[in-house]
């Protein structure tokens, strides 16, 4: 009984507050992207971390001042991977209320996985949205299809772009097929 009293006293004096971990993740083609790292893509949509500041297809910057992550696409081809993030070509997972901004330059294509691609670009975050902006003469083609999974999910109306928050298209040429 004395030992229980001492343990109770210890935990009351040295109590700890446990906070949920802050999670913000950006994926392209099933690969988790690190900020400030340059990535390359190939014609099949595979993503590798072997780009440079002058030769890259993907680049992510965390902009805490404006509450967003910015994903730069430069002539990128991204293919969603079945079994990874619902098959989304681009997947943003966040519990910090950040927004994902995609800035496209050149010709870019993003496709969902073939078996479970329920959204080509997916934002999995409460209240987080997505902003898509294209530089002059750029395009972003979002290639999706009417998969069985898309039509069977409650309240799902599109397999192109999915977000809990706002979806804003500010500039550029967006093609959804």
> Is there a contact between 76 and 22 (Cβ–Cβ < 8 Å)?
no
pLDDT in tens, 97-111: 889 999 999 999 998
Question: What's residue 75's pLDDT?
Answer: 97
pTM of whole model > 0.85?
Answer: no
Task: Tell me the average pLDDT across 45-53.
Answer: 95
Strand order in the sheet with 58-63: 47-48, 38-41, 58-63, 68-74, 99-105, 130-134, 167-171
CA distance 118 to 169: 20
> Is there a contact between 135 and 174 (Cβ–Cβ < 8 Å)?
no
Confidence class of residue 159 from pLDDT cuts 50, 70 and 90?
low
Reduced to 3 states (helix: H, G, I; strand: E, B; else coil), residue 10 is helix
- Identify which of 34-38, 72-76, 108-112 has the greatest average pLDDT: 72-76
Question: What's residue 115's pLDDT?
Answer: 60
């Amino acid at each position: 009984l004395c030992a229980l009293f001492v343990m109770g006293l210890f935990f009351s004096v040295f109590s700890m507050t446990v906070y949920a971990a802050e999670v913000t993740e950006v994926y392209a083609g099933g690969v988790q992207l690190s900020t400030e790292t340059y990535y390359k893509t190939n014609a099949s949509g595979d993503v590798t971390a072997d780009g440079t500041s002058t030769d890259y297809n993907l680049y992510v910057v965390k902009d805490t001042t404006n509450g967003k992550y910015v994903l730069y696409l430069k002539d990128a081809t991204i293919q969603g991977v079945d079994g990874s993030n619902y098959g989304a070509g681009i997947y943003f997972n966040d519990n910090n209320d950040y927004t994902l901004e995609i800035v496209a330059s050149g010709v870019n294509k993003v496709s969902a996985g073939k078996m479970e691609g329920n959204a080509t670009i997916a934002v999995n975050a409460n209240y987080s949205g997505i902003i898509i902006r294209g530089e002059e003469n750029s395009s972003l083609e979002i290639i999706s299809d009417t998969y069985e999974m898309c039509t069977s999910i409650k309240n799902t109306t599109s397999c192109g772009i999915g977000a809990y928050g706002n979806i804003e298209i500010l500039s550029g040429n967006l093609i959804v097929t």
